[in-house]
Amino acid sequence: DGGITQSPKYLFRKEGQNVTLSCEQNLNHDAMYWYRQDPGQGLRLIYYSQIVNDFQKGDIAEGYSVSREKKESFPLTVTSAQKNPTAFYLCASTRTLNQPQHFGDGTRLSIL
Amino acid sequence: AQSVTQPDIHITVSEGASLELRCNYSYGATPYLFWYVQSPGQGLQLLLKYFSGDTLVQGIKGFEAEFKRSQSSFNLRKPSVHWSDAAEYFCAVGDTNFGNEKLTFGTGTRLTIIP
């Protein structure tokens, strides 16, 4: 079955450590997105990518970095510069233009 | 900039009762509108979408929504809820200048079903 796979489901970060969240899709979608979800705040866009080797900052990109070396993969790195990284992170993809976004099951990041 | 308001943070309804979740948006042109549902610890699942045409759209799981331009609203309805409908519901608006490249989400409405 086609879909979006996020791993790991739970992740713990130590102070000063960078961590990378994985997002892989086999839907042949061009565009991919990373959102952060906090209680009572809905989803906020971190980064998005419309094509390989290109990506744009969303509304809350500070302290995060991404890469898009393959169409299927869009990993998100939470750097030590992100002072409040505890949240639920969702990856999404779409065929682009007029198509709904499909979501993975998320990664919950916590601080040790 | 576009925005979405879901005025109800939490709604409780009895099983079998009707449901309406409110969504108001702010956008200069005709927007793309979506409703998503999220179960605890899971990703979001698309319930329905409005792009153009008939203002009453049907979705999965017996949900429907009506686009009302004059009220800038896109309320979600279901005539009879089931216990399995308990979840969090998000309304989202897409920028038609850029297709579906960027969505703005509301803060969500949590639905509780009582027997």
Q: Is the dihedral of CA B83, B84, B90, B95 positive or negative?
A: negative
* Cβ neighbour number for residue B47 with a 10 Å cutoff: 24
Mutate to test the interface with A, among B2, B25, B100, B110 (most CBs of A within 10 A): B100
Chain A positions contacting chain B at CB under 8 Å are 4, 6, 31, 35, 40-45, 48, 50, 58, 90, 92, 94, 96-106, 108
Tell whether the model's pLDDT for residue A60 goes beyond 60: yes
Mean pLDDT of chain B: 92
pLDDT digits (tens, 9 = 90+) for A69-81: 999 999 999 999 8
Mapping DSSP onto H, E and C, the string for A52-90 reads CCEEEECCCCCCEEECCCECCECCEEECCCCCCCCEEEE
Cβ-defined contact of A48 to B101 (cutoff 8 Å): yes
pLDDT digits (tens, 9 = 90+) for B45-55: 999 999 888 89
Q: Is B84 helix (H, G, I), strand (E, B) or coil?
A: helix
Terminal-residue alpha carbon distance, chain B: 41
Mutate to test the interface with B, among A101, A108, A110 (most CBs of B within 10 A): A101
Average pLDDT (B32-45) is 93
Report the pLDDT value the prediction gives residue A2, as an integer from 0 to 100.
74
- Token pair 């750097």 is found at A79
> Residue A40: pLDDT band by 50, 70, 90 thresholds?
confident
Q: Is A26 helix (H, G, I), strand (E, B) or coil?
A: coil
pLDDT digits (tens, 9 = 90+) for A26-38: 999 999 999 999 9
For residue B47, give how far its alpha carbon lies from the nearest alpha carbon of chain A (Å).
10
Contacts of A101 in chain B (CB under 8 A): 46, 100, 103
For residue B112, give how far its alpha carbon lies from the nearest alpha carbon of chain A (Å).
16
Report the pLDDT value the prediction gives residue A39, as an integer from 0 to 100.
86
The answer to whether B89 touches B7, Cβ cutoff 8 Å, is no
Terminal-residue alpha carbon distance, chain A: 35
For residue A87, give how far its alpha carbon lies from the nearest alpha carbon of chain B (Å).
11
Of B42, B90, B100, the CB nearest to A96: B100
The answer to whether B15 touches B83, Cβ cutoff 8 Å, is yes
